[in-house]
Amino acid sequence: MRRFLFILLLIAACVAMPQQALSRNYVFCVGLNSYSMDVGQLRVSTNDAKTIKKVFKKNGHSSVSIITDSAATRAAVLRGMKYTFARAKSNDVAIFFFSGHGTEYGLLCYDGVLKNSEILNELKQCKAGTKMIIADACYSGKLRNDSAWREVYNGENVILFLSSRTDETSIETVFNNSLFTIYLERGLRGGADVNKDRTITARELYDFVHAGVSNDSRDTQHPVMWGKFDGNMPIIKWENKKAIKYK
């Protein structure tokens, strides 16, 4: 009888115990090889966006959207961010990935500049506890200097991961991706997982990508990570051992 009552109490306790919601990644990828204006055409940016989409699709807990080239107008990118990030909750990660041309005041969409303040306004509406902007663009380090980061959004857990310093170009390799995206993909898939716990943190990702890009570019390109965040903050978690690659 006592054993029966103990089992009932154990079941009741389990039912009453709140279940921790599983963290998800909400990812919106943008890649542009071609533009409606004369700014110079690119070769691998569209594929960069597709590559990052594939990484998060392989992860079982990610919702991923993508838009490329002529479809990536300013209005369409803003709509895509709003739609993708709308379902994110406080324990989730919202990631905006962009590969293409950049300027000091924003990122260049097919029909013009998407201002940093506009990007941040969309992120501000998102409820995700971690918000990350990854920009693979020449001189992308300039994005840190825009006062919009402080005026529009000065909260914590907002990470800028930029492919190069203020005065550096971002290298398009002879392969199908830029140098930055090559190491970003490798790092997210497990190359950055130093302690082999199948969780890639912000610090692990930065250290891996920065070292690889700096070395292969012979110190002509140096990725930067900037913002108010804990270096141990998880960016992506892998439950499936077969999906992660430690290399």
Examine residue 10 and state whether it is found in any structural domain, yes or no: no
What's the CATH code of the domain at 30? 3.40.50.1460
Q: Which residues have a Cβ under 8 Å from the Cβ of 172 and sit 6 or more positions away?
A: 42, 43, 44, 178, 179
Residues 6+ apart with CB under 8 A from 246: 190, 191, 193, 196
Please report which confidence band the pLDDT of residue 188 belongs to, taking 50, 70 and 90 as the band edges. very high
Beta carbons within 8 Å of 67's beta carbon, 6+ residues apart:
28, 29, 30, 76, 77, 80
pLDDT at 152 (0 to 100):
61
d(CA 196, CA 193): 5
Predicted confidence at residue 5, as pLDDT, reads 39
Structure tokens at 157: 């857990």
User: Is the residue at 244 inside a domain?
Assistant: no
| pLDDT value for 228 | 82
* Residue 87 located in a structural domain: yes
Amino acid (1-letter code) at residue 161: F
In a domain, 8, yes or no: no
Task: Answer yes or no: pTM beyond 0.85.
Answer: yes
How many domains would you assign to the chain? 1
Of 58-67, 72-81, 93-102, 235-244, give the lowest mean pLDDT range: 235-244
Quote the mean pLDDT of the chain. 87
Pairing of strands 102-103, 106-109: antiparallel
What's the confidence (pLDDT) of residue 18?
A: 39
Residue 99 near residue 45 (C-beta atoms within 8 A) = yes
What pLDDT was estimated at residue 191? Answer: 96
2 lies in some domain? no
Q: Is residue 3 part of a domain?
A: no
The contacts of residue 50 (CB under 8 Å, 6+ apart) are 29, 31, 66, 68
Query: Residue 15: its pLDDT value, please?
Result: 39
* pLDDT for position 91: 92
CB atoms within 10 A of CB 167: 9
Q: What would the mean pLDDT of 32-50 be, rounded to a whole number?
A: 95
Q: For 120-149, how does the pLDDT look when each residue is reduced to its tens digit (9 = 90+)?
A: 888 888 999 999 999 999 888 888 877 777
25-39, 135-149, 184-198: least confidently modelled range: 135-149
In a domain, 17, yes or no: no
* Helix axis angle, 116-125 to 74-85, nearest 10°: 20
Percent of the chain with pLDDT over 90: 64
In whole angstroms, what is the distance from residue 57 CA to residue 181 CA?
Answer: 16
Question: 127 is in which domain, residue-wise?
Answer: 23-237
* The total number of residues written for the chain in this structure: 247
Residue 4 in domain? no
pLDDT, one tens digit per residue, over 146-186 is: 777 766 666 667 899 999 998 888 989 888 999 999 999 99
- pLDDT confidence bin for 20, thresholds 50/70/90: very low
